[in-house]
Amino acid sequence: MGFSADWLALREPADHAARDAGLLRQAAVAAGPAPVILDLGCGTGSTVRALAPHLPRSTLWRLVDNDPDLLDRAAKAARDGGARAETHACNLADLDSLPLEGVTLVTASALLDLMPEAWLRAFAARLGVPFYAALSYDGRMEWQPEEARDAPVTEAFNRHQRGDKGIGPALGPDAAPTAAAVFAEAGFDVIRARSDWQLGPEQAPLQAELVRGIAAAA
């Protein structure tokens, strides 16, 4: 389970536009006055860049990924913004390896749909701080102009998204409602918001890459 820096860079503008601004601000407030933030599957630091304008420069980021190159890029993103950064090369399947001590907020972007429900339940059971999870794929795709094959392709892609990504059958399109239920059961106050991609002609390169990925998966 991993993604290239090129793909992450291509999608980041769409991700930033899709993030709910109110939820982002609430996450920053939840991090407290001296934030120590654990970012799971940090990639190149997209969550860092999204949250940084709402956080004090003294923020400490604990960045978790299994790709050393992505970790270096994410750490640079944090430090370029004046924050401090630690990198942790961890396997997310091993929850015991996560550096949770002293953390005031945990974040994850475009991650939960890749994880199995058993992992999510185990994670929620041990988490004692707020959690900001954004950009979970929910199974909806709408294309213009519409084609008769849109629905069967979406169904095939959604089946693929529920496949094993390395640590068990992924939640795929069920990630957001499942996470909301799991964290509510664990005693968290759950706030949900939409994060739809809206891709116009100016994002043709991202659309082309997305279509290639969907076709390969479906």
Q: List pLDDT tens digits, range 171-205.
A: 999 999 999 999 999 999 999 999 999 999 999 99
Banded model confidence at residue 119, pLDDT cuts 50, 70, 90: very high
| Omega cis (within 30) before 33 | no
CA 125 → CA 3, 21, 42, 119, 216, distances in Å?
28, 28, 22, 10, 36
Q: What angle do CA 123, 66, 132 make, to 5 degrees?
A: 40
Higher pLDDT, residue 3 or 103: 103
Residue 112 CB neighbours (<10 A): 27
The mean predicted confidence, pLDDT, of the chain is 96
Q: Residues 68-72: what's their mean pLDDT? A: 96
Domain ranges of the chain: 5-217
pLDDT of 1 strictly over 60: no
CA–CA separation, 75 and 62 (whole Å): 9
Whole-model pTM?
A: 0.95
User: What's the average model confidence in pLDDT over 119-145?
Assistant: 97
Given a cut of 90, whether residue 76 has pLDDT beyond it is yes
Percent pLDDT > 70 in the chain is 99
- Name which CATH class applies to 5-217: alpha beta
